[in-house]
Amino acid sequence: MTAKRIVVVSSGLSTPSSTRQLADRLAADAVSILAGRGVEAEVQTFELRDLAHDITNNLLLGFAPPKLEAALDAVAAADGLIAVTPIFTTSYAGLFKSFIDVVDTQALTDLPVLIGATGGTPRHSLAIDYAIRPLFTYLHAQPVTTGVYAATSDWGGTGAAGEGDGVRSLPDRIYRGAKDFADLVERTDRSSLVRDPFALEGPSGHLIGGLAGE
């Protein structure tokens, strides 16, 4: 069986970034859960920080420079996407949204997505559900129910359940999100179905179907 393709997109702006750290942990749990079920998965990670100029140029020009194009192609042909952004001023980072804006509107159809977000305070945790999730549902992706929000204070927790305000610990939440995600990734055969409109081994009939005189 071919390996499932998981693409990780992190739009943290600093280096090192807690956004990237959350993304890596989500990916690691997803891979190990899939491995436990005998499903091989390969992970490709993109830091949007490295693509920031390309993303802007794509917005201005309409085409992706080579490095960005590789990221867009990877996302379009993935079996699962782990998307993690910092929360700035109540919502996703502008860079994250700009990236989503240059993704082809059909490229995420049926794509399992695990949403993660980071922020300075736990008060912004619902941004996952009111701001980020609608992006993916609009694009006909399949965001899993569990989104994982990591506030700064989460990184200092003991990891014990029931600590602080009674929410489950960050590792627990990461595991739960990764498991929901792995369930979908395991079942999808999406990467084998992605069609290239320029592929030369296309159907032998008319490509436009009844509109051009046939």
Partner 1 sequence: MQFGIFTVSDITEDPTTGRTPTEAERIQATLTIAKHAEEVGLDVFALGEHHNPPFWSSSPTTTLAYIAGQTSTLQLTTATTLITTNDPVKIAEDFAMLQHVSGGRVDLMLGRGNTGPVYPWFGKDIRQGLPLAMENYELLHRLWREDVVDWQGRFRTPLQGFTSTPRPLDGVPPFVWHGSIRTPEVAEQAASYGDGFFANHIFWPASHTQRMIALYRQRFEHHGHGTAAQAIVGLGGQVFMRKNSQDAVRDFRPYFDNAPVYGHGPSLEDFTQQTPLTVGSPQEVIDKTLGFRDYVGDYQRQLWLIDHAGLPLKTVLEQLDLLGEEVVPVLRREFAENRPAEVPDAPTHASLVAATYGDEAPRQATPKANRGDNLAGPSPYQDAKATPAAAPAGSAPVKTGSAFGPAATR
To partner 1, the closest distance from the beta carbon of 51 in angstroms equals 13
User: Does residue 60 touch partner 1 according to CB under 8 A?
Assistant: yes
> Among 19-27, 118-126, 165-173, 203-211, which window interacts with partner 1 (CB under 8 A)?
203-211
Residue 195 sits in the site that holds partner 1 (CB under 8 A): no
- Selected range binding partner 1 among 55-63, 111-119, 154-162, 173-181, rule: CB under 8 A: 55-63
Of the residues 13, 45, 49, 65, which one makes contact with partner 1 according to CB under 8 A = 65
Residue 52 CB, shortest distance to partner 1, in Å, is 13
Report if residue 1 touches partner 1, rule: CB under 8 A: no
Does 208 interact with partner 1 (rule: CB under 8 A)?
Answer: yes
By CB under 8 A, tell whether 214 contacts partner 1: yes
Of 66 and 156, which has the nearer Cβ to partner 1? 66
**Helix/strand/coil (H/E/C) assignment for every residue in the chain:** CCCEEEEEEECCCCCCCHHHHHHHHHHHHHHHHHHHCCCCEEEEEEEHHHHHHHHHHHHHHCCCCHHHHHHHHHHHCCCEEEEEEEEECCEECHHHHHHHHHCCCCCCCCCEEEEEEEECCHHHCCHHHHHHHHHHHHCCCEECCCCEEEEHHHHHCCCCCCCCCCCCCHHHHHHHHHHHHHHHHHHCCHHHHCCCCCCCCCCCCCCCCCCCCC
Q: Does 61 bind partner 1 (CB under 8 A)?
A: yes
Of the residues 35, 160, 193, 207, which one makes contact with partner 1 according to CB under 8 A:
207
- The residue ranges that bind partner 1 (CB under 8 A) are 53, 56-57, 60-63, 65-66, 197-198, 200, 204, 206-208, 211-214
